[in-house]
Amino acid sequence: MILKLSKSLSPAQSLRRMKQSIGEGSRKKISMKKIIYLFPLLLLMSCYNVERNCKDFKTGKFKFEYEVDGVKKTTVFERKDSIEIETFEGKTDTSRIRWVSDCEYILKKIHPKNMAEEKAISMKILSTSKNSYTFEFGIVGSDQKQRGTVERISVSR
C-alpha cells in the first residue's frame, strides 16, 4: 500500500487516516466473505416450495381443534364440493362453498341465526401434508386473519 502524505496533514493524522483505510478494507473483506457464504444459503431457501395439494382436501370429513380461553374446542365438518356441514358443540350448521381457486374458497352460512353469521368467511389453504392442511381465514373484506390446522378424518367418495 502506498501512502501519500499530504502537506496539510500532520504525520499523526496521516497515520490515523492510513489505519482507518486499512480497517475499512478488512471490513469490506469480511462483508464480502459473509456475502459469499450467505449467497448459497439464500439460493437454497428460494428454491423451497411449500407443498400445496389443495385438490386433495376439497371433499372429505375433517376436524379443527383450537383453544378459547384455555378450553379446547373441536369442530367436525364434512365438505362435499359446494356444501360444508359443520358440527360444533352438538349443533349442526350448513354452509355454501364457492371455490375461488384450488386453494381458496368463500364460506357462507345457508341459515344464519344472527348478523355475525350472515358474513361470508374467506378461507385460504397455505400448505398441505398427507392428512392435514394449514389455512388462513377471516371475514370477507376484513384485514384481520387467523390461522389454524385441519386434520382429515376420512375421505369422501
The pTM assigned to this predicted structure is: 0.66
Instruction: Give the mean model confidence (pLDDT) for residues 60-81.
Output: 92
Say yes or no to pLDDT of 29 above 90.
no
| pLDDT of res. 115 | 92
Instruction: Give the mean model confidence (pLDDT) for residues 66-73.
Output: 90
Higher pLDDT, 103 or 81: 103
Instruction: Give the mean model confidence (pLDDT) for residues 72-99.
Output: 94
| pLDDT of res. 154 | 87
Q: Which of 103, 86, 34 is nearest to 95 (CA)?
A: 86
Say yes or no to pLDDT of 76 above 60.
yes
Can you list the pairs that 54-59 forms with residues at least 24 positions away whose Cβ atoms lie under 8 Å? 54/102, 54/103, 54/125, 54/128, 54/133, 55/102, 56/128, 57/125, 57/128, 57/133, 57/150, 57/152, 58/99, 58/102, 59/155, 59/156
